[in-house]
């Protein structure tokens, strides 16, 4: 559960960094370094990935060991809503994290 909480906090922090980056540059950053955020270490139990397009960005946080009990997948995009999935990778249709 601690790894999940940390993953959610990372997603929130990177989302804030993306908003600031967009305000300064007119587009979203494609890497953690580009938006001024340290790339999260997989030793925290999650692997993070940023994908960008002209329409926005997507950030995935997936457990290093998928399928372990209590390991949720997380997703967020330029809307700023963090979503979760217990089995498959989360996406824009996944339920919101409460």
What residue ranges do the domains of the chain occupy? 2-85
pTM here is 0.90
List Cβ<8 Å contacts ≥24 apart for 47-50.
48/7, 48/10, 48/14, 50/14
Confidence of residue 40 (pLDDT cuts 50, 70, 90): confident
Structure tokens at 45: 């139990």
CB–CB of 42/32 below 8 Å? no
- Write down the pLDDT at residue 84: 97
* pLDDT over 70 (residue 13): yes
User: Could you give the residue ranges of the DSSP H alpha helices within the chain?
Assistant: 2-25
């Amino acid at each position: 559960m601690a790894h999940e909480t940390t993953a959610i906090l990372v997603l929130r922090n990177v989302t804030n960094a993306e908003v600031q980056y967009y305000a300064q540059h007119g587009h979203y950053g494609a890497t953690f370094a580009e938006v001024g955020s340290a790339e999260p270490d997989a030793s925290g139990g999650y692997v993070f990935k940023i994908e960008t397009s002209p329409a926005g960005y997507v950030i995935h946080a997936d457990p290093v060991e998928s399928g372990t009990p209590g390991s949720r997948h997380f997703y967020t995009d330029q809307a700023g809503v963090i979503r979760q999935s217990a089995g498959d990778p989360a996406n824009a249709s996944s339920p919101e994290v409460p």
